[in-house]
Amino acid sequence: MLIDDFNPLEGKMLQILKTDGTVVEGLDPKLDDSVLLQAYRTMVLTRVADEKAVKLQRQGRLGAYPPCKGQEAAVIGPAMAMRKDDWFVWSFREMGGLLYHQIPLMSQFLYWMGNEMGSHYPDDVRALPSSVPVGSQLTHAVGISYAAKLRGEDTVSVAFFGDGGSSEGDFHEAANFAGVYQCPVVFVCQNNQYAISYPRKFQTRSPTIAQKAVSYGFPGILVDGNDILGMYAAAREAVERARSGLGPTLIEAYTYRLGDHTTSDDATRYRLESELAEWMQKDPLDRFNRYLEAKGIWNDDLENAAVKEAQDEVEKAVSEAENYPKPTVDEVFRHMYAEMSPDMVEQMERIRAETGKKGA
């Protein structure tokens, strides 16, 4: 078992796909070629869509946006290990996992354009809306997984958060509850080294975040977060543990944010160029590309075609989002409760009157 073999308390980190595109002998999960190609194409689409989102924000066509460049493997790997009826509980930097989980790209652009309808997903997709408050989604994930356990379902919740989230009380409350009640949940911490501009080393004295799981009575594993095979393999094992009734697991994805924290940030003010250059050499897409080429199932022509296909899909999604009906003043009130309270109705009517705008 990988989770037993790579004990973070012993300073071990799981890596299967090395930076040169070769794999560690004996650890290759031997995924079907069609699965590998689907994963890589999703990574390419995510990279193209992410770069487009930043440009849209600079042009004033998108609100504040959190880039995910460099963290594609840390999210898509766990998404690959999930079943269709498992719950995807995300923070705000998990575009790749959402795409792999069949959430339309148009919805994601729409959300970051400030339209709450972007959080309305297809009925057959089990995913929560974005949770920008740091760490609050972890208690939601545990609650969902506990409910599934009480109902006798075998679904699993996979919850994503950042290293900054591990400093929040919500993380500790969620982990404690999940450990006590053996909830079927997998915590995936994307340790991208910075909580906004605050370095990871100033957030905790703990050598790893993964080892914090031990305090709550369940296992943790440190994984090279830029290694999609490693992230998939660790998540598959953690999901299977949860589904079989063995409780939660904490996966720490050791990765790096190649862009700014958000489009309101300027990472050049607190990061060294040499550090960024070092991590660029570990780009998860480049590493996976070399692996696929070595297997003989990918080449430059396929790469160019995949990028062109992704660009076309992104432009189509942007057009659909920009042409979507604009939100009305009523949207501010509609999505908090199933039915608005009398005072909310009064507030809505007052704002309608003050702004001269009619609801819809």
Residues serving a catalytic function are 257, 261, 270
Beta-bridge mates of residue 220: 250
Q: What is the rounded distance in angstroms from the CA atom of residue 71 to the CA atom of residue 272?
A: 19
| Secondary structure (DSSP) of 273-285 | HHHHHHHHTT-HH
Q: Which residues contact 249 (CB under 8 A, 6 or more apart)?
A: 3, 186, 187, 213, 218, 219, 220, 221, 237, 238, 241, 242
Q: Which residues of 263-287 are buried (b: 16+ CB within 10 A; e: fewer)?
A: bebebeeebeeeebeebeebbbbeb
Q: Which of 287, 279, 293, 300 is nearest to 20 (CA)?
A: 287
Task: Please report, as a single letter, which amino acid is at residue 283.
Answer: D
Size (the chain), residues: 360
Residue 308: count other Cβ atoms within 10 Å of its Cβ: 11
Angle at which helix 228-243 crosses helix 72-80, to 10 degrees, equals 40
Q: How far apart are CA 52 and CA 149, in angstroms?
A: 40
Q: Which of 341, 321, 325 is nearest to 333 (CA)?
A: 341
Q: Can you state the percent helix, strand and coil of the chain, rounding each to 5?
A: 50, 10, 40
Tell me which amino acid residue 282 is.
K
Distance CA 264, CA 228 (A): 29
- Indicate the SS3 state at residue 347: helix
The CA distance from 274 to 266, in Å, is 16
